[in-house]
Structure 1
Amino acid sequence: MSEPPGTTVSLADAPSTDAPSKPLTAQRVQPLRRPGRWLVTLVVLVLVAQFIHGLVTNSFYQWDRFGYWFLRPTILDGLVITLEVAALSAVLGLLGGILLALARLSKSPVLRAASWTYVWALRSIPLIVVLIFLYNFSALYQTLSIGVPFGPAFFSFDESKLATDMAVAVVGLSLNEAAYAAEVVRGGILSVDQGQHEAASALGLPKSYQFRRIVFPQALRSITPNYVNQLIGLIKSTSLVFYVSLLDLFGSAQTMGSTYPGDIVPLLLVVTVWYLILTSVVSVIQFYVERHYARGATRSLPPTPIQKLRAGVTDLRARIRREASI
C-alpha cells in the first residue's frame, strides 16, 4: 500500500528482521553433533577395556613368571646381542644402500646393471636363506684369496676363522638391508627438485659437494621415514639369527623355553615387550629426526608430544573458564 504524498516514514519505526535477539558476544556457537563418531568411540573403548581385562586376569599368561624372566641375565645378554646386530647391520646396510643408489643413478651402464642386479637378487631371496647360505659358506669355499682373476693369488685366508656367528649374522642382515636401503635412498634423491641440481651446477660446485651439502640433506626428508620403517623391520628380523646359532633376544627366550616348557608363554611375552620397547624408541628418534629436517620446508615445525600436552591442557582450561562464565 502506497503512502499518501508528503508523508515521511522514519527508519526507526520500520520493523527490523536482521537485528539479533542477543549481542554477538553473548551468543554461543553450537558444535555440530556427530552421534556416529561417539558411537564408534564407545565401541572402541569397550573393546580396549575388554582386551586389557582379559590380558590382566587370564592366568594363562603367568604374569608372575613374566616378571621373573623380564630382567634375567640370559634375556638381557640376548638383548645386547640383538642391539649390536641391529646397530651394525643398520649402519652397514645404509652405507651399502647409498653406494648402490649412487651406482644405480650413475651414467655408467656397468654400474647401473650391477646395482640393479644386486637389488633384484637380494630382494628376491628370503633372508633366512641368505643367513643359512652364509653360515655354510665355508663348506663351499674353505679359503678365500685376493689376486689376479685366473692368475696368482696375492693373499689367502681361512674363511672359517672369520665367519663367526656374529659376523655371519651382521653380514647377512647388512647385505639384505642394503638392497632395500638402496631403493629408499634412490627414491629420496629423485624426490629433490631438479632445480636444486641445476642451481648447484650453475654455481660450479663439485659433484661431491653438491651431493653432501645440497642434495642429500634435502633427500633425507624423504629417506628418514622410509628407512626408519626399514630399521624397525631390521630389528624384528634379528630374530632369525637364532637359526645361525647366535643367541639373540629371541634365541635366548627360545632356549629357556626348551629348558622350562611351562614358561613358554611368559617368555614369548617378554620378547614381545622388549621388541615393543625397542621399536618405540626408534619411532621417537624418527619423530625428532624428521622434525629436524623439516626446518625450512614447513612454515612451522610439528609440535612435540610435550607441546601437544601443554596445548591440550591450555585448551581444556579455556573451555572450563568459558563454561563457568556462562
Structure 2
Amino acid sequence: MSTPERIEAKPLRHPWRWTFAVIILALAAWFLIGAARNEAYGWDTYFAYLLDTRIAIASLHTLAITFLAMIIGVLGGGILAVLRMSPNPVLRAVSWVFLWVFRGTPIYVQLVFWGLLGALYQSINLGFAEISLEGVLSSAFFLAVVGLGLNEAAYMAEIVRSGISSVPEGQKEASKALGFGWWMTMRRTVMPQAMRIIIPPTGNEFISLLKTSSLVVAIPYTHEIFGRATDISAALFEPIPLLLVAATWYLVITSIFMVGQHYLEKYFEKGATRELTSRQLAALADAEGTIPRNVSVIPEVNRNE
C-alpha cells in the first residue's frame, strides 16, 4: 500500500504587504461608511445639484479658460525658451526677468493684480493717438485667460528648453549634413525627439492649470465651476455639498484628460526602445558575439500556422 504524498503548505509571500493592504482597505471602508451616514455632508443637496445645468455650463467656461490659457502658455513658453537659449545677452536677460517675476510670485496675487489693472490703466497715450483700454480691461474672462496664460508660459519655458536641450548635438549636425535647414531640422529631427520629454510634464501642467482656473474668482470671474458652486452654496447656505459637487466635476474632467495624456505619451514613445525577434537577435549575437542587454526580445510567430 503506497503512502500518500505529503503536501507542504507554502508560506504567504510578502505578508506585510497584504497586512498593510487590509489596513488601508479597512480605513477606507470606515471613512466611506461614516461619511455616508453623516448628515453634515448634505448628500441630498449634493445629488440634487450634481447635474445642475448651471454647473454644466460653468464646466464649459472652465474648459475654455484652460484651453486658451494653455495655448498662450505653450506659445509663450516656446518663445521664452528660445530667448533663454539665445546668444544675445539682452534677450536672455528679458527672458530671465519674466521667469523670475511670474515664477517668484503666487498665482493668486497675480490674478488679483490683473483684476485691478483697469484701475491702473484706463488708456494708452501714443502721442499721436490715445487708445482706450476700458472695454478690454473690463472683461473678466479676458483677464483670467491672460493672467493664467502668462503664468503658465513661465513654467512651459523650462519644460520646452529642457526638451530641446535633451536632443544630442550630433542629431542636429547629422541633419545639417543631410542638407536640412533650421526649420526642417527642428521639425524632422529635434522636436520629435524632444516631445518625449515635453509631453509628460505638459500634460501635468494642463491638468494643474485646469484646477488652478478655480482661482480666477480673485479677478473676479465667477462663471467657472468653483465660482458657480460658491454662488449656489451662498444662496442655499450649504457650502459642503456644493464643494463636493465642484470637486466631482474637476475629478471627472481631469480623469478624462489623464487618459488622453496616457495615450499621447505612448504615441510619442514609439521608437524609444528596440524590440527584436529571436531570429534578429540571433543574427545580431553572431555578428557581435554578445547579446545586448538593452534589447528586448519578441517571440517570433510562425506565419504558416
Among residues 182, 186, 190, which one is paired with 2:157 in the alignment? 182
Q: TM-score, normalised by structure 2?
A: 0.82
Q: Please tell me the residue identity of whatever aligns with 1:212.
A: R
Deviations 1:92-136 (A, max 9, x none): 111110111111112222211111111111101211222222222
Q: Secondary structure at the match of 2:131?
A: strand
**Equivalent pair of 2:115/2:219 in contact (CA under 8 Å):** yes
Matches of 1:144 and 1:81 in 2, distance apart? 30
Task: State the partner residue of 1:159.
Answer: 133
Q: Give the deviation of 1:178 after TM superposition.
A: 0.3
Task: State the partner residue of 2:87.
Answer: 107
Deviations 1:204-248 (A, max 9, x none): 311122112211121111111111111121111111111212111
Large movers: runs of 4+ above 6 Å: none
Matches of 1:98 and 1:32 in 2, distance apart? 54
Deviations 1:59-91 (A, max 9, x none): 221212111111112212221111110111011
Q: Secondary structure at the match of 1:245?
A: coil
Task: State the partner residue of 2:33.
Answer: 53
Q: Give the deviation of 1:171 after TM superposition.
A: 0.5
Matches of 1:232 and 1:254 in 2, distance apart? 21
Among residues 231, 253, 256, which one is paired with 1:255 in the alignment? 231
Structural RMSD (CA)? 2.2
The question of 1:83 aligning with 2:44 is answered no
Matches of 2:169 and 2:49 in 1, distance apart? 55
Question: What residue ranges of structure 2 are gaps of 5+ in the alignment?
Answer: 276-305
The question of 1:169 aligning with 2:144 is answered yes
The question of 1:206 aligning with 2:176 is answered no
Q: Secondary structure at the match of 1:225?
A: helix
The question of 1:73 aligning with 2:73 is answered no
Q: Please tell me the residue identity of whatever aligns with 2:202.
A: Y
Task: State the partner residue of 1:290.
Answer: 265
User: Structure 2 matches for 1:1-326, cutoff 5 A?
Assistant: 33-144=13-124, 152-153=127-128, 156-163=130-137, 164-247=139-222, 248-261=224-237, 263-299=238-274
Q: Secondary structure at the match of 1:67?
A: helix
**Equivalent pair of 2:203/2:261 in contact (CA under 8 Å):** yes
Q: Give the deviation of 1:34 after TM superposition.
A: 1.9
Q: Secondary structure at the match of 1:144?
A: strand
Q: Give the deviation of 1:31 after TM superposition.
A: 8.2
Matches of 1:35 and 1:55 in 2, distance apart? 30
Overall identity of the aligned pairs, in %? 41
Q: Secondary structure at the match of 1:157?
A: strand
Deviations 1:16-73 (A, max 9, x none): xxxxxx9xxxxx9x68722112211211221222222223222221212111111112
Matches of 2:95 and 2:120 in 1, distance apart? 25
Question: What residue ranges of structure 1 are gaps of 5+ in the alignment?
Answer: 1-21, 23-27, 301-326
Q: TM-score, normalised by structure 1?
A: 0.77
Matches of 1:252 and 1:279 in 2, distance apart? 18
Q: Give the deviation of 1:258 after TM superposition.
A: 1.3
Q: Secondary structure at the match of 1:107?
A: coil
Query: Rg larger in 1 or in 2?
Result: 1
Between 234-243 and 32-41, the greater mean CA deviation after superposition? 32-41
